[in-house]
Amino acid sequence: MRTATAWLRTLFAASLIVGVYGLACVAVVGELVLVFGPLTIPTADRSQSMDTAISSSVFTFPVVAILVLGALALSRATGSPEDSVQLSPEQAPELWDMVNGLAAQVGTRPPSELRLVSAANAGSARTPGCWAFSWGRDGCTSASRSCSG
């Protein structure tokens, strides 16, 4: 039952991510049709076609820009914190064993890297790669490697 729920949650998350990109693409195509569509229709008064193109673009361009910027932000990796130190399994085997054990207890994949930061707090971060997915140890997950490697 737990595996089925995890698969459904993964499918839902992936469909939302793909949906954002799809919506941004449809919005860009729609914006181009709204701007250039009236200009391609032969009319006696070219200024009316130009006014229609400009007025439709004024209202739709901000929405399209927000969707495209959101899709780009989803793909952009944030990078590692500046004041962090990466720990390898050889440097801190007990910590890695504890983290791997916790990941096994909650039924998730272990992280691909551990970092120490100067803040007196514990946290978790996922670094997105292509289309907000990154390649983990066993496939496309939210680990901290890019999709190319």
pLDDT, tens only, 49-62:
777 777 777 878 88
For position 76, what pLDDT does the model report? 67
* All residues at 6 or more sequence positions from 141 whose CB lies less than 8 Å from its CB, including other chains: 109, 133, 134, 135
pLDDT, tens only, 20-60:
788 888 888 888 887 777 777 776 676 777 777 777 778 78
Q: Decide if pLDDT at 136 tops 80.
A: no
Per-residue pLDDT, averaged over 111-134, amounts to 69
Exposure pattern of 67-83 as b/e (b: 16+ CB <10 Å)? Answer: bbeebeeebeeeeeeee
At 127, is the pLDDT very low, low, confident or very high (cuts 50, 70, 90)?
A: low
